[in-house]
Structure 1
């Protein structure tokens, strides 16, 4: 009986992860095309806050994958996908286009679905996932700082150009 309950929980977690990834990466069809974008690309247009919200939601998928018992290697690869999207996504304009095309969350769902046959994660894996989270949080902070510095540089360049 308990195995049936665990299977239902796992299926509901997988359904939640699939739905969240779809919402973030492919929920909005561009009119007149077959191309789809998600809320991650839309909220990414908001400087700093968009990257923070998108990264937190993407890390939520990694947290759910951990609860489902994904292997360390899978969690690491999922974290890397989010890291790539975060770092490149912090580049103004290009990063927003990259977010729409890269679709890290859907990549992570595919990784997780291949990995769910592994045994349940152990307590020591909590620290591993925490380390991934710390790396992502550090990258997020650095990308925000870099974007801030780039904005200041652009602003000072424009100010100097106007003073000529």
Structure 2
């Protein structure tokens, strides 16, 4: 029978805690899911995440979600993405934060403009090009054959 320590170690092995591109990709995909689509609004079937929910708190909510979005940019920087792509990602967060700070209009904008999803898309394109071993197809990692 497995001990609690064995159970913990098995769980820890599944967590993407490394610095390799695959672990970073999994972490950022999980963070984007939490920030942009953790709940589905009944009736309209529209996914909503913590970005929209925390953004309802005036000013403080937008600062907190901007900090969480900036973490995605920090991870991308650590992978070695170009400054142009990092500036695009920061621009997405800046637009989301600036317009999101406007009462009511900003909350509706947060609901429609998903800066973290846009940033994850930029990151995935870069990872697919520079680290092809991290390509994920339906939850499974696919190692591309370079000899073709």
Q: TM-score, normalized by length of structure 2?
A: 0.72
Secondary structure of the 1:79 match is helix
In structure 2, the partner of 1:125 is: none
Q: How many residues align?
A: 113
Mapped to 2, the partners of 1:9 and 1:91 lie a distance apart of 38
- Structure with the largest fraction of strand: 2
In structure 2, the partner of 1:53 is: 64
Q: How does 1:58-137 map to 2 (within 5 A)?
A: 58-116=69-127, 117-118=129-130
In structure 2, the partner of 1:16 is: 27
**Could you say which structure has the larger radius of gyration?**
1
Mapped to 1, the partners of 2:116 and 2:87 lie a distance apart of 14
In structure 2, the partner of 1:141 is: none
Kept in 2: contact 1:70–1:118 (CA 8 A) = no
Deviation at residue 104 of structure 1 after TM alignment: 0.3
Can you give the 5+ residue segments of structure 1 that lack an aligned partner in the other structure?
1-6, 120-164
Large movers: runs of 4+ above 2 Å: 116-119
